[in-house]
Structure 1
Amino acid sequence: MDPQPATGGGWDNLGDEDFPADLLDDERWKDLKCKGQNLVTAMHSSNFDAAKLYKPIRPTAESPWDDSGALATWDWRLNTDSDDLYANFLDHEVEHNGEEWGGYGLEAPLNELGLPLHTGNDPKTDIKIVYLNHFDVDGAPMDQQTYNVGGKTHRATGGHYKFGIETSTGAMFSLLLLAPAEAAKDCKPQIPKEDLPELQRASDLAWLSWAHFAEPKSHLKYFFNIAITNEDTQKAIRTVLKNTDTAYGPWPGVTFNTNTDEGKVLLGTPNGRGHGYFLAQHKTALGNNMYISKIQVFHGATAPFIPNMVLHIEREQPPTKRRALRKDRARL
């Protein structure tokens, strides 16, 4: 029988609730729904029309970040630690480097969607882990680390992103997301907003990671958000489940189309909107409009039963050319 906590929530090893039953208030619901609706519109629009949704309006919705050389410029470093480049997606513990690693409990979704179960170096056959740090793990204490861009000195923030990439079926996994803006709050002294790296958003780092390995870049079917701990996203999940009178459970969980209010709210969450930007800001490289059609919410088969989301990606089909109907004219 699939494990399902009596509370419907998730609990960590200390007995503390990991997925509280708090809900969004009405104002935050409307805000996330608006963000989600704008992303739905942007994904289905031209670059020119999508750019009108930005404040201030831009000449194009295209992201300026399409060169992986920008990673080094803005002090993003590839983590090479073998532990950091590992993840256990199975429903049981696995020994790695002499230690037992708990599993995410994702065997059911990975098997059903035709994805590999293990990490490895080849994204065509395995889930390739890419871990980017905004600091030098072997350098000076982080608060003392600096880098220079265009004659201006910036400080390392401690931000980091851990992605999984699989290019045969086409899936990208978000495993750890700590944006520089959030990490900078713990730096001493704090780093002001104007000193943060220009290259900092998860959607841009995810794109550069994906584009490095994927060919064609448009061969992408799924975004996975694994073990979601963001408070806003957790509240959104609780609220959409309550509003639809559906239970929180294991795969396949509950599916919300993005043409519904609930789907738009999930897309507008911190764990959803980066994926919308990923598609809306790279239309040229993707070859055509691609969009998120639905979002599945579920927990893994292992404790602490923290929520996951799978966002399904589809390609917009070009309009069918219709032949003009012509009436045969009788000859006199």
Structure 2
Amino acid sequence: WKPEQIADDARWTKFVEKGKHLNCLMEASDKGAGWLLKDTRNPPSAASQWTGDLSEARKMWYWHESPVNQERECDFEKKRLKDAFNGVGLNAKPTQSEGDGDNVCYRIEHVDTVLAKDPKEPKKLIDQKYKVGEKEYTATGGLYYFAVNHKGGAIIAMNLETPLIGTKYNWPNIATHDQLPALRFCSDILWGYWCNNNPSVRNLRIYGAYNVVNDETASLAARALISNGHETLEPWPGVSFDRSSPEGQALIGSPLGATAAHLLLGHKAELGVKWIKRVEVFTNDKRMDGIVPKHKEMHLFFHVEDVPEDE
């Protein structure tokens, strides 16, 4: 790693402290977590306002599903992650494969791409408006791209760009809070797809982050590896960091880890009281031809478990 790719002391301390706080929120009861968050409900609660599959709420707030080539995009065996998936008890194939895989990929965008690509009258993102109540909003270009594996108990985040980030690239000026859709957080969008037609909602075991490119998360993972004597990414099982270690806390507090944490703490009623027990950092399986790629992709597995009753 280059020096600028490794988290400095200020960034490290910030996310270690955030991870500690999220650990407390995850292991607390819903009421206890609500109290820690200074929630104003009576009794206080950490529960998200968004429950159920959210299909109607997504329509209301202008979220659209875009088509995904499942065989190409959702086959993690072809992405050289079979050992990692199998190692944590997951099937690596898409549901549409001949081998009866378990993974379904979704691409959810805060824009109508059909309108944007209309050959006769394309409608630019900035010109796409929608109303909720009496208020008019503008599409942001936010994007959540992820895989869901109900049978194995996993969600794999692949590309997460919030509506706020979307406006940074698609609007003349970045949005203010009141210009954003109320349904905007990744953890809430993921929840809708996790619980939809899922007979085993409590079976969430793995939250994965595929090909981490988020600068903050990647720099925290790099520092965690280096501080433990690892100069490069290794194939699964890679390196594991417990929730009680500074490295584990930094990764749980990272932007990608925080999404997983908020998914858990916002849905204790449905999931039970769960925490992230450990985080694995690893790269793709070795190539069959023996060639070592110059660029190694970074992947994370956040292991989700029930909080022991004595905690």
Normalising TM by the smaller chain, what interval?
0.7 to 0.9
- SS state of the match for residue 113, structure 2? coil
- SS state of the match for residue 46, structure 2? coil
- The question of whether the paired residues in 2 share the 8 Å contact of 1:167 and 1:213 is answered with no
Q: Percent identity?
A: 27
Tell me the amino acid that sits aligned with residue 86 of structure 2: N
Asked if 1:76 is matched to 2:51, the reply is no
Cα distance, 1:192 vs structure 2: 2.8
- Measured in 1, the distance between the counterparts of 2:8 and 2:38 equals 25
Asked if 1:170 is matched to 2:146, the reply is no
Asked if 1:26 is matched to 2:9, the reply is yes
Cα distance, 1:213 vs structure 2: 3.4
Q: Which has the higher helix share?
A: 2
- The question of whether the paired residues in 1 share the 8 Å contact of 2:108 and 2:145 is answered with yes
Matched with 2:235 is 250
Asked if 1:230 is matched to 2:211, the reply is no
Query: Which stretches in structure 1 are left out of the alignment for 5+ residues?
Result: 1-8, 10-18, 91-102, 321-332
Q: State the TM-score, normalized to the length of structure 2.
A: 0.86
CA displacement, residues 47-91 of structure 1 (integer Å, 9 cap, x when unaligned) = 12112333666621000011412111111111124379833312x
- Measured in 2, the distance between the counterparts of 1:317 and 1:203 equals 24
Matched with 2:120 is none
Cα distance, 1:112 vs structure 2: 1.9
Larger Rg: 1
Matched with 1:129 is 105
Cα distance, 1:246 vs structure 2: 2.5
- The question of whether the paired residues in 2 share the 8 Å contact of 1:84 and 1:131 is answered with no
- The question of whether the paired residues in 2 share the 8 Å contact of 1:170 and 1:220 is answered with yes
Matched with 2:86 is 111
Cα distance, 1:218 vs structure 2: 0.4
- Of the structure 1 ranges 111-120 and 126-135, higher mean CA displacement relative to structure 2 is found in 111-120
Query: Which stretches in structure 2 are left out of the alignment for 5+ residues?
Result: 116-122, 288-292
- Measured in 2, the distance between the counterparts of 1:151 and 1:79 equals 27
Tell me the amino acid that sits aligned with residue 27 of structure 1: A
Asked if 1:43 is matched to 2:19, the reply is no
Cα distance, 1:104 vs structure 2: 2.6
Asked if 1:259 is matched to 2:250, the reply is no
- Measured in 2, the distance between the counterparts of 1:181 and 1:84 equals 31
Cα distance, 1:271 vs structure 2: 1.1
Q: Which aligned runs of 4 or more in structure 1 are off by greater than 4 angstroms? A: 55-58
- Measured in 1, the distance between the counterparts of 2:168 and 2:63 equals 18
Q: State the TM-score, normalized to the length of structure 1.
A: 0.81
Show the 5 A alignment for 1:290-329: 290-301=274-285, 303=293, 304-319=295-310
Tell me the amino acid that sits aligned with residue 147 of structure 1: Y
CA RMSD of aligned residues (A): 2.3
- The question of whether the paired residues in 2 share the 8 Å contact of 1:85 and 1:130 is answered with no
CA spacing shift, 1:81–1:106, aligned 2, 3 Å: closer
- Measured in 2, the distance between the counterparts of 1:132 and 1:311 equals 22
